[in-house]
A and B are shown apart, each in its own frame.
Chain A
Amino acid sequence: MHDALPLTRRMMLAGMGCACCTGLIGAGEALARVSPGAMRPLIGPGYRPTDADERGMWAEYERVEQEIAGSNLLITDPNLVSYLRSIVGRVGGVAANDLRIYLARIPEFNAFMAPTGFMVVFSGLLTRMRDEAQLSAVIAHEAGHFLRRHHIRRWRDVRRRTDLFAIFAMGAGVGGAASGVYLGDAVRLAQLGTILTLAAYSRELEAEADAMGVSLMAETGYEPLAAPEVWRQLIQETEASAEMRRRRPRRGYSLLASHPAPETRMTDLRLSAAEVRTAGRTFDRGRDRYVAALANHRKMLLDDQVKLNDPGASLFIIRNLAADGWTGMLRYYEAEAVRLRGRRGDRELAAQSYADAVRYPDAPPEAWRMHGYALIQAGRRDEGKAALARYLQLAPNAPDAAMVRHSIQQ
């Protein structure tokens, strides 16, 4: 985002925050599950604020939205955007026509809701979801924050409180945010989400949004069990990522997150999902629609993730998607993740996966290129050159065609 938020305003954002699912964070207090049946929207269609604090908040966020809308970090493919809009329209409840959605090209698991009704989804979320129901779980959860007026409720709560905890929690959120700055401003947008996660909603409001979300999903026929699945995947991915680097899973950024309890949240979501799944009703997973909508973007999404060289997370994501069936694309990126990992023996493992990948009709041309170089490295020069030739045949205008041609001639 260009321009956007002065730090002071970022704090405002932090205070009122918007994020949801990214960090595995809870405020620490034990809290009973909120039943989906108890959740009603607190606003009607076309809601506008009247109080001074909320109007101030809206005015700020309207400017933020302008900046976001003009950002070149957005993925603006009209087909994909209208697909996302259709999901918002389905699970947005009474606010369905008021909600806006933006897709930012940032390879992180994150989404956030602004108090004015626009939502930002990070491309990393699309990378990870297996079907439309899973994606709708996140979107419905975010819509839940809006429908339950969480921003202003949280803001008023924080403002009222003067205890050190609240203040330190804010500080910790910002501290976490600072690291993002070194990575560039964009990831500051990601950080925005992170800050928000931390400072943002209390455990209580998260529980409300979870319940509201599950309720919206069931009402509109999405499989509510997809909601706890998203949490399970996130927990597993975090663990896999940490384990690969031999460290403890990130339990959040907060000094105070004594008890993040994502597992509790997942369990609560399971109970809530069971509650709304009335017998005899069928629920939709929308996997085919999801796969079709992402068809032209899957490669970019996987590429953005794998090139971060976080092999634990990348391999978890790829194998999780492959639970619905391996493809040449998934095999290729599995190989890429292993190759970048670069441990002893990984070169051979990667070579095997490239070889597997090119047996699928949907293998990206790059799979042939890497397969070819892997063969050459293994001393199988002729086969390698044939694979490189195949790459050039499939991608004659590839930006590295000159280099590959040169390799063939060697």
Chain B
Amino acid sequence: MKKVLIAFFAALSLAACAGGGGGEGGYRAGGFGSPRFRLIEPREHDVARTMRVTPTMRWNRTPRMIYDIPREENWTLHGLPLDGLTFIGGLEDGRPLVRWQRRRDIRQVPNFRADMSPPEIASMIETFYRIRAGSVSFTMTGLQPRTFLGQPGFQYDYEHLGGNEVTRQGRVVGAVIGNRLYMILFDAPKRHFFPEIIPEVERIIDSARLENERQRRG
């Protein structure tokens, strides 16, 4: 999944030459497909292979990156260092939110378990931000029940601060359906960008529905 920041730095190495250390927790960029952003028009779209959503504005779809998990899709309005909207279309039981995590990595994003309690899902997301997106402080500001994709789910709100000193705000709305975790995550600078974009994100969340079973099998 795409924490904006990682994508950003990957983009950096893409922009010039790949290089740099890639030591503990580092990423080696490369193996991108077509590194082009695609236009998302304001109409209904399939996302992350499993959901349908209807934005009311034009968005940019981020090219797939090597560390994206299979059912994942990322959009941005103003660019990767600023805002990111991530769709996770059914993370399977026993899998982490990231791809290419090695068993020997010192710091690891926990695997999702279908029977996780709400605070466990929240701390899984928190760990993701701390070790993959460089957050040094991370605060839950809310965790409440919320219907998502027509199923009982949750809304998780948080703030975090990364090394570039920009305070960011995030909201995740998700649900565990059929032992899979479905989520929409939005993350942006707390100043200006989060409040500006969140109404559109809310519209997208409310529009989200699961593709029906037959379509998914097909």
Direct contact of A and B (CB under 8 A): yes
A residues neighboring B (CB under 8 Å)? 1-2, 71-73, 105-107, 175-179, 181-189, 241-242, 245-247, 250, 253, 304, 307-310, 312-313, 336, 339-340, 342, 366, 369-370, 373, 376-377, 399-400, 402-403, 406-407
Q: Find out whether the CB atom of A184 lies under 8 angstroms from the CB atom of B118.
A: no
Please pick, from A2, A175, A182, A369, the residue contacting B9 in the complex, using a CB distance under 8 A: A182
Q: Which of the residues A73, A183, A246 comes within 8 Å of B25, measured between beta carbons? A: A183
Nearest 8 A-B pairs (CB), nearest first? A184-B134, A186-B163, A178-B20, A185-B163, A179-B26, A400-B143, A179-B23, A184-B163
Evaluate contact between B134 and A185: CB separation under 8 angstroms.
Answer: yes
**Nearest CB of B to A365, in Å:** 12
Q: Chain B interface (Cβ within 8 Å of chain A)?
A: 5-6, 9, 19-27, 103-111, 113, 115, 117-120, 122-123, 126-127, 130-138, 140-145, 154, 157, 161-165, 167
In the assembled complex, the CB of A379 is this many whole angstroms from the nearest CB of chain B, namely 11
Cα distance A340–B113 when bound, in Å?
Answer: 11
Report whether A176 and B23 are in contact in the complex, using a CB–CB cutoff of 8 Å.
yes
Are B163 and A183 interface neighbours, CB within 8 A? yes
**How close is B105's CB to chain A, nearest CB, in angstroms?**
7
Bound state CA distance, A73 and B162, in angstroms? Answer: 8
Are A247 and B110 in contact, CB atoms less than 8 angstroms apart? Answer: no
Tell me if A's interface is mostly helix, strand, loop or mixed: helix
Cβ of B17 to closest chain A Cβ, rounded Å = 12
Residue on B nearest A342 in the bound complex, by CB: B110
Shortest distance in angstroms between B19's beta carbon and chain A's nearest beta carbon?
7
Contact B127 A340 (CB under 8 A): yes
**13 examples of A-B residue contacts, CB within 8 angstroms:** A2-B164, A183-B134, A185-B134, A187-B163, A245-B105, A245-B106, A309-B127, A310-B107, A339-B120, A373-B120, A399-B143, A400-B140, A403-B118
Residues of chain A contacted by B27 (CB below 8 angstroms): 182
Q: Across the interface, which residues of A come within 8 angstroms of B115, CB to CB?
A: 377
Cα distance A1–B26 in the bound complex, in angstroms: 20
Question: Shortest Cβ distance from A272 into chain B, in angstroms?
Answer: 31
B107 touches A308 (CB 8 A): yes
| Contact B110–A340 (Cβ < 8 Å) | yes
Q: Across the interface, do B136 and A107 meet the contact criterion of CB distance under 8 Å? A: yes
Closest residue of chain B to A374 (Cβ to Cβ) is B117
Quote the shortest CB–CB distance from B31 to chain A (angstroms).
16
Of residues A1, A182, A377, which shows the largest number of chain B Cβ atoms within 10 Å of its Cβ? A182
A250 CA to B133 CA in the complex, in Å? 22
Q: A177-B21, A373-B118 are in contact. List 13 more A-B contacts (CB 8 A).
A: A73-B136, A175-B23, A178-B22, A183-B133, A183-B134, A187-B136, A242-B106, A304-B137, A313-B106, A376-B117, A402-B145, A403-B144, A407-B118
